[in-house]
Structure 1
Amino acid sequence: MGKDVDAQEFTRADRTRHREKVRRCLDVLERMLNESAFDTDDPHTGLEVELNLVDDAGDPALRNQEVLDAIADPDFQTELGQFNIEMNVSPGPLRGRGLSQFEAGLRASLNEAERRSEPLGAHLVMIGVLPTLRDRHLAPDTISQNPRYSLLSDQILAARGEDMLIDIVGDERLRATVDSIMPEAACTSTQVHVQTAPERFAGYWNASQAIAGVQLAVAANSPYLLGKQLWRETRIPLFEQAVDTRSEELKAQGVRPRVWFGERWITSVFDLFEENVRFFPALLPVTDEEDPLTVLEAGGTPNLSELRLHNGTVYRWNRPIYDVSGGVPHLRVENRVLAAGPTVVDTVANAAFYFGLVRTLAESDRPLWSQMSFSAAEENFHSAALRGIDAEVYWPGVGKVRATELVLRRLLPMARDGLAAWGVDQEDIDHYLSIIEQRCLIGTNGSEWMVRRMAAAAEEDRFDALRGMLLDYRAGMADNRPVHTW
């Protein structure tokens, strides 16, 4: 969820001061993009994985602070709900056996965290939406203790001026009114980071947007929410609605949503930060004492804290990241499309497909986005979220095509070429992309497995069946067998 902030109230003067500081940061970023040296020598990639906590029966375990105390590892942090935690995988290069190293590190960390949390009656689950959640688990009193989350919830509700309406129509319909942003806690994702030079950032972001629908189709993993079977990737409409600061009147006026796919291809990373400042008022107007221009002119690297905090409250599916490491600035694309899970090996396969495909498309002499409208990319995104592995998507030169056919015939070869360009070992390329290939051939990802498992238990009470399905899911996750083999 980003930078921690202390519990506080904001005055009109705080908001005015913060707005001025954000704009100053934006001006400094523009100057840095023109003048400063960014870290581009050895681009790193990274992963963040959001996790759910469940008890022995498969119901949510509201114990994240106790679990974090037991794990005692700074790579694990709180998330919005008391049944959530997040883990960070140390960034590193892809070359050689980088993918295998990601898998080994992620498995080792999760196994150790599970060992330490099990005596508390809590278990870690990688899944897009925890299917055993009930209304009571999404109430304001289940927000994590970190003051940032309650403050953010209060600010979003205040900006909206009314309770949140969750209305999702899929195989079934869910309609509920809530008085906090806790439904957002139901959305647990894998965030994939790729570092890039400023002059190449636009290509990597545009490519990420163009393939977002295909990513969802092959990796959907959240068909159930509050007992209802909805979209194959229910995280998408749920997140879009759970953090919507707009009243119905503002929606009708065309005000941009806080969870945003975007509306155009870009030519610079500056475009995205400038849109953030132009379209979205601050939710957390916290201002620090650093003068970024003074730091820059003294030869230092400014933190741009206000711009980064604001960026963290605009929930793009592909988010720009400005960060500083060792006193040197760098830029990353944070790909936020993917659900968590089902297994570590599935997660790394999803990341490998993204890393390879985005590299090929971003470095292409004839950019894909010059042949495809932005609205087509957005339509692919929502169509794939709704239908999952059965989705049809639009692709230049092909037209409408089954996502699985597109992956098998065109995109897997591109992903192979991209991973080779990253310097990835051939054995890793074959291993991880074969998992994507088999999912497409068999027509099974996490969501399809869950729906089929539930269909076999159709005569049971819905929540009893969901618990049983989740226990089987946990067993498959623990074995680390790709979901298409379950």
Structure 2
Amino acid sequence: MGEEVETQEFSRADRTRHREKVRQCLDVFARMLRDAQFDTDDPMTGLEIELNLVDDAGDPAFKNAEALERIADPDFQTELGQFNVEINVPPRLLRGDGLTAYEENLRVSLNDAESKANDIGAHMVMIGILPTLAEGHMSPDSLSGNPRYQLLSDQILAARGEDILIDIDGVERLRTTADSIVPEAACTSTQLHVQTSPEQFADYWNASQAIAGIQLAVGSNSPFLLGRELWRETRIPLFEQATDTRSEELKAQGVRPRVWFGERWITSVFDLFEENVRYFPALLPVTEEEDPRTVLEEGGVPELAELRLHNGTIYRWNRPVYDIASGAPHLRVENRVLAAGPTVADTMANAAFYFGLVRALAESERPLWSQMSFSAAEENFHAAARHGVDASVYWPGVGQVQATELVLRRLLPMAYDGLAAWGVGREEADRFLGIIEQRCLQGTSGAAWFGTRFHVHYQRESRGDALRHTLLQYIEHMHSNEPVHEWRD
């Protein structure tokens, strides 16, 4: 969720001073893009996964503070809801056995954390939305203790001026309201990071946008919310609505939402940061003492704290990141499209597909985004979120096509080429991309499996029991690390 901030109230003067400081940071960032030496020699990749906590019965366990105390691992951090935690996997290079090393590191860390959380009756689940969440779990009391979360919730509600409306029409219909941003905590994701040079950033971001719908189609894993079967990737409309600061009138005026696909292809990373500053008022107008101009002119690397904090409260599905490591600035595309799970093997297959495909497209001689409209990419994104593996998407030179057929015939070979460019060996690529291939051939995903199994249970038991029993089966399979296309019950 970004940088921590302390509980506080903001005056009108605070907001004015913060706006000026953010604009100063933006000016310094522009100078850095022209003149500074960004870390680009050997680009790293990164991985973060948000997890749910459940009790022995499969119901939400509001114990993240206790669980983190037991786990005692700095890679695990708090998240928005008391039933969430997040693991930040150490970044690494992909060449050699990078994907396998990610998988092994992640499995060891999660198994260790699970055994320690078990002592307090909590279990970790990788799924986009916890199916056993109920209306009673959506109160402000469910927020984690970090003051940032309550402050962010207060600021979003204050900007909106009324309760948050959740209205999603899918297989079934859900319409409810919330008096905090706790519904956002229901969304747990996998976040993939790609480090890139300033010169190549636009290509990697545009490529990420172009394939976001394809990622959702083959990786959907959030079919239920508050007991209702909605979209295959219900996280998408839920997250868009749960953090919406706009009243109905502002929506009608065309004011941009804070959860945003975007509206155009870009030519520079500066485009995204400049849009964030130009279009969105600060939610957390915290101003630090650093003078970024002075730091830069004296040969240092400015933190740009205000710009980074502001950027962290605008939830693009592919977010630009400015960061500093070992004293050097660098840029990353943070891909936030995918749900968590179902297994570590599936997660790494999703990562391999993204890392390979995005590199192949970003370094293509003829950019894909020169052949399709931005609105087509956005339509693909929402169609895939709604329909998952059954989605039909638009692709240049093909027209409308089943997403799974597109992956099998065109995109998997490109992903192989991209992984080879990263230095990933063929055997490793075969293992992880083979999982994507089998999902497409069998027409399955985490969401598809869960929906099918739920309806089997629902024929003989109540809706709540069917969801709970399906989730417990899901957890059992999750621990096997057999990819979801191999699950048979």
Under a length normalisation based on structure 2, what TM-score does the superposition of the two structures give?
A: 0.99
The letter of the residue matching 1:199 is E
Residue matched to 2:391? 391
Residue matched to 1:481? 482
Cα separation, 2, equivalents of 1:458 and 1:118: 29
**Structure 1 segment 135-284 matched on structure 2, within 5 A:** 135-284=135-284
Per-residue CA shift, 1:208-248, capped at 9, x if unaligned?
00000000000000000000000000000000000000000
Q: 2:430 matched to 1:449?
A: no
The letter of the residue matching 1:256 is R
Deviation at 1:59, TM superposition (A): 0.1
Q: 2:414 matched to 1:408?
A: no
Cα separation, 1, equivalents of 2:86 and 2:138: 18
Per-residue CA shift, 1:106-134, capped at 9, x if unaligned?
00000000010001000000000000001
Residue matched to 2:315? 315
Cα separation, 2, equivalents of 1:90 and 1:18: 32
Report the number of matched residues.
486
SS of equivalent to 2:51: strand
Deviation at 1:17, TM superposition (A): 0.6
Residue matched to 2:120? 120
Deviation at 1:458, TM superposition (A): 2.1
Cα separation, 1, equivalents of 2:135 and 2:70: 28
The letter of the residue matching 1:395 is W
SS of equivalent to 1:457: helix
Structure 2, gaps ≥5 residues long: none
Cα separation, 2, equivalents of 1:165 and 1:311: 24
Cα separation, 2, equivalents of 1:26 and 1:155: 23
Cα separation, 1, equivalents of 2:259 and 2:399: 28
Cα separation, 1, equivalents of 2:195 and 2:428: 20
Residue matched to 1:97? 97
Per-residue CA shift, 1:434-465, capped at 9, x if unaligned?
00000000011000000110111122111101
Residue matched to 1:464? 465
Question: In the alignment, is the contact (CA less than 8 A) between 2:457 and 2:469 conserved in 1?
Answer: no
Cα separation, 2, equivalents of 1:396 and 1:86: 37
Per-residue CA shift, 1:174-230, capped at 9, x if unaligned?
000110010000000000000000000000000000000000000000000000000
The letter of the residue matching 1:248 is E
Q: 2:120 matched to 1:88?
A: no
Per-residue CA shift, 1:35-77, capped at 9, x if unaligned?
0000001100010000000000000000000000000001100
SS of equivalent to 2:221: coil
SS of equivalent to 1:145: coil
Deviation at 1:484, TM superposition (A): 0.5
SS of equivalent to 1:174: strand
Residue matched to 1:418? 418
Cα separation, 1, equivalents of 2:164 and 2:367: 39
SS of equivalent to 2:166: strand
Is 453-462 or 69-78 further displaced after alignment?
Answer: 453-462
Deviation at 1:148, TM superposition (A): 0.1
Per-residue CA shift, 1:398-454, capped at 9, x if unaligned?
000000000000000000000000001211101000000000000110000001101
SS of equivalent to 2:46: strand
SS of equivalent to 1:166: strand
Residue matched to 1:326? 326
SS of equivalent to 1:267: coil
Residue matched to 2:110? 110
Per-residue CA shift, 1:292-327, capped at 9, x if unaligned?
000000000001000000000000000000000011
Residue matched to 2:13? 13
The letter of the residue matching 1:410 is R
Cα separation, 2, equivalents of 1:435 and 1:57: 30
Cα separation, 2, equivalents of 1:138 and 1:474: 23
Deviation at 1:360, TM superposition (A): 0.4
Residue matched to 1:365? 365
Residue matched to 1:351? 351
Per-residue CA shift, 1:54-102, capped at 9, x if unaligned?
0000000000000000000011000000000000000000001000000
SS of equivalent to 2:177: strand
Cα separation, 1, equivalents of 2:458 and 2:55: 24
Percent identity reads 74
The letter of the residue matching 1:425 is G
Cα separation, 1, equivalents of 2:41 and 2:382: 36
Cα separation, 2, equivalents of 1:324 and 1:458: 51
The letter of the residue matching 2:477 is G
Cα separation, 2, equivalents of 1:57 and 1:93: 39
Cα separation, 1, equivalents of 2:299 and 2:429: 42
Cα separation, 2, equivalents of 1:425 and 1:476: 28
Residue matched to 2:65? 65
The letter of the residue matching 2:226 is L
Cα separation, 1, equivalents of 2:287 and 2:432: 44
Cα separation, 2, equivalents of 1:285 and 1:11: 9
The letter of the residue matching 1:178 is A
Residue matched to 1:377? 377
Cα separation, 2, equivalents of 1:458 and 1:82: 29
Cα separation, 2, equivalents of 1:401 and 1:102: 33
The letter of the residue matching 2:134 is R
Cα separation, 2, equivalents of 1:136 and 1:455: 24
Is 45-54 or 422-431 further displaced after alignment?
Answer: 422-431
Question: In the alignment, is the contact (CA less than 8 A) between 2:132 and 2:226 conserved in 1?
Answer: yes
The letter of the residue matching 1:380 is N
The letter of the residue matching 1:466 is L
Residue matched to 1:285? 285
The letter of the residue matching 1:485 is E
Structure 1, gaps ≥5 residues long: none
Residue matched to 2:435? 435
SS of equivalent to 2:191: strand
The letter of the residue matching 2:298 is A
Per-residue CA shift, 1:152-192, capped at 9, x if unaligned?
00000000011000000000000001100100000000000
